[in-house]
Amino acid sequence: MSQTDPFRATRALFDLPDGLVYLDGNSLGALPKAVGARVSQVISDEWGRSLIGAWNSAGWVDLPRRVGDRVGRLIGAPAGSVTMGDTLSIKVYQALASALELRPDRRVILSDTGNFPTDLYMAQGLIASLGRGHELRVVEPEAVEAAIDESVAAVMLTQVDYRTGRLHDMVALTEKTHAAGALAIWDLAHSAGALPVDVAGAGADFAVGCTYKYLNGGPGAPAFIYVAKPLADTVRPALSGWFGHDAPFAFEPSYRPASGVERMRVGTPPILALAALDAALDVWEGIDMEAVRARSIQLGELFIREVRAHVPDLELASPVDPSKRGSQVSFRHPEGYAVMQALIAEGVIGDYRAPDIMRFGFTPLYLGEDEVRSGAAILADILTTGRWDTPAFRRRNKVT
Ligand SMILES: *Cc1c(COP(=O)(O)O)cnc(C)c1O
């Protein structure tokens, strides 16, 4: 890394194996050094010594809101408008169910083929449960804008395409959605911690995302949900669990939603996972998202340039214009799975997404130019020599 790299200090906050080129922080963020000590302190001091009293004495009960505010600062959400818990799939379901109820006369959920399958699956499941004849209309990403009309109840999109990295224009599409009288649900799985986001400024009605990708909260870290201020006090939560009740410890027989986004909580919060995420979020203190974006573009451009210099025929699956993509770069190769396995065997970690995408994520907090250059050189060499072409590298693992 060069002396002028403003992210040298943040790199030192991460625990990464020596010599590894980790280009998969878009899928599972690296481990911040402070996480282990923090989680073990919560286990031994809070759980171990204070036992159930820790819900009050250690503030466990308010952790979803406190951590939600920290995530909120990274996505332009005002304090008190984000809460944490469950998985992203659940949060997608909750946002969509609440949105559909706000547009009882409309039947269309609009999404695109670039959305992550679980978002579409959750919509399909919700439609079946509602049994009211809703339709999930899935169009090509480029066709979304033209498909927004007055039949649409909710536009549900992931801002950054998980395969290609293509970036939707959140401001313009939200505006178009509102002009048609529909609600906008944004999935920020590949945006939060990857680029500057302003959910409130863009006027998003709902936003959801996970925290184990660019936010480094660890495998299965709790998801977040944002509900715009005027809506948060009126939406009905589809999953009316006791932690989203106005008075969980009154133990009333009937559900009454809490005020604001707290009503999107469901059951008992995962305290150990929230503690890990809370510690992981410390690395973002004082970080300027515009600087992260500039650096991410610089690293992505460097990677593309270096790969193309050696293997000019490798097809770029991502937009060429860096302002039109998130913090990842993808290439297509018919044997992308085997090529990726060969790369991983040589210490360059990216991932593969069917049918032919090799995906590389750029995380400025802990990734430098030397690693990007070295990753590109090894990829080029593997392709040029054909050493990916072995039965072992073609054998599929469960997780790709
Ligand atoms: C990663 C990702 C998910 C994963 O959902 P989980 O419930 O956390 O497994 C969902 N949607 C999008 C857009 C994603 O990128």
Nearest CA owner, ligand 1 atom 1: 189
Q: What confidence tens digit (pLDDT) does each residue in 307-326 have?
A: 999 999 999 999 999 999 99
| 26, 88, 89, 158: residue to mutate for ligand 1 pocket, most atoms within 8 A of CB | 88
pLDDT at residue 50, as a whole number: 98
Find the helix or strand (DSSP H, E) in which 181 lies: none
Distance 188 CA to ligand 1 centre (A): 9
CA angle, residues 137, 400, 15, in degrees to nearest 5: 115
**CB 118 less than 6 A from any atom of ligand 1:** yes
pLDDT at 3: 45
Sign of CA dihedral 334, 338, 342, 347: positive
Ligand 1 site-directed mutation target among 89, 91, 327, most atoms within 8 Å of CB: 89
pLDDT in tens, 113-144: 999 999 999 999 999 999 999 999 999 999 99
**Index of the ligand 1 atom closest to the CA of residue 88:** 7
Which of 271, 282, 302 is CA-nearest to residue 367? 302
**Contact, 299 vs 328, CB < 8 A?**
no
91 has pLDDT over 60: yes
| 248: exposed, middle or buried (Cβ count in 10 Å: 0-12, 13-18, 19+) | middle
Tokens 């379901």 belong to 93
Residue 391 has pLDDT above 80, yes or no: yes
Give the pLDDT band of residue 4 (cuts 50, 70, 90): low
| DSSP run (H or E) holding 235 | none
Dihedral angle sign, alpha carbons of residues 16, 17, 22, 27: negative
Residue 374, pLDDT > 70, answer yes
Q: How many degrees, rounded to 5, is the angle at CA 72 between CA 186 and CA 290?
A: 85
pLDDT digits (tens, 9 = 90+) for 248-266: 999 999 999 999 999 999 9
For ligand 1, the distance from its centroid to the CA atom of residue 122, given in whole angstroms, is 11
pLDDT at 283 over 90: yes
Residue 1 confidence (pLDDT) above 60:
no
What is the C-alpha separation between 371 and 365, in angstroms, rounded? Answer: 13
- Which has more pLDDT, 194 or 230? 194
All structural domains of the chain = 8-32+288-394 (3.90.1150.10), 39-284 (3.40.640.10)
Q: How far apart are CA 191 and CA 196, in angstroms?
A: 8
Whether the CB of 162 sits within 6 Å of ligand 1: yes
225: which strand partners? 83, 208
d(CA 181, CA 160): 24
Contacts of 285 (CB under 8 A, 6+ apart): none
**Over the stretch 151-184, which tens digit does the pLDDT of each residue have?**
999 999 999 999 999 999 999 999 999 999 999 9
Q: Classify the C-alpha dihedral 111-115-121-126 as positive or negative.
A: negative
* Residue 192 clears pLDDT 50, i.e. is over it: yes
| Length reported for the chain | 400
User: Is 190 touching ligand 1 by the criterion CB < 6 Å?
Assistant: yes
Please report the atom of ligand 1 found closest to the CA of residue 91. 7
- Cα–Cα distance, 265 to 243 (Å, whole number): 6
pLDDT at 5: 67
Active site residues: 116, 187, 212-213, 359
Q: Write down the pLDDT at residue 399.
A: 87
Using CB atoms within 10 A of its CB, is residue 2 exposed (0-12), middle (13-18) or buried (19+)? exposed
From the CA of 220, give the closest atom in ligand 1. 8
DSSP assignment of 361-391: E--TTT--HHHHHHHHHHHHHHHHHTTT-SH
What whole-number distance in Å separates Cα of residue 60 and Cα of residue 265? 14
Q: So what's the pLDDT on residue 6?
A: 73
Can you tell me the distance from the alpha carbon of 325 to that of 294, in angstroms, rounded to the nearest whole number?
A: 12
Can you state the angle between helices 117-130 and 88-102, rounded to 10 degrees? Answer: 50
User: Looking up tokens 């480029």, which residue turns up?
Assistant: 142
Nearest CA to ligand 1 atom 14: 189
Pocket of ligand 1 contains residue 87 by CB under 6 Å: yes
Centre of ligand 1 from the C-alpha of residue 84, in Å: 15
**C-beta of 210 in contact with ligand 1 (< 6 A):** yes
Contact 336, 376 (CB under 8 A): no
Number of helices (H), then strands (E), belonging to the chain: the values are: 15, 15
Q: Please give the C-alpha separations between residue 182 and each of 105, 132, 155, in angstroms, as whole numbers.
A: 11, 18, 7
Q: Is the CB of 88 under 6 A from ligand 1?
A: yes
CB distance 215 to ligand 1 below 6 Å: no
Ligand 1 neighbour 187 (Cβ under 6 A): yes
Task: Judge contact between 261 and 232, C-beta under 8 A.
Answer: yes
Judged on CB neighbours under 10 Å (0-12, 13-18, 19+), 16 is: middle
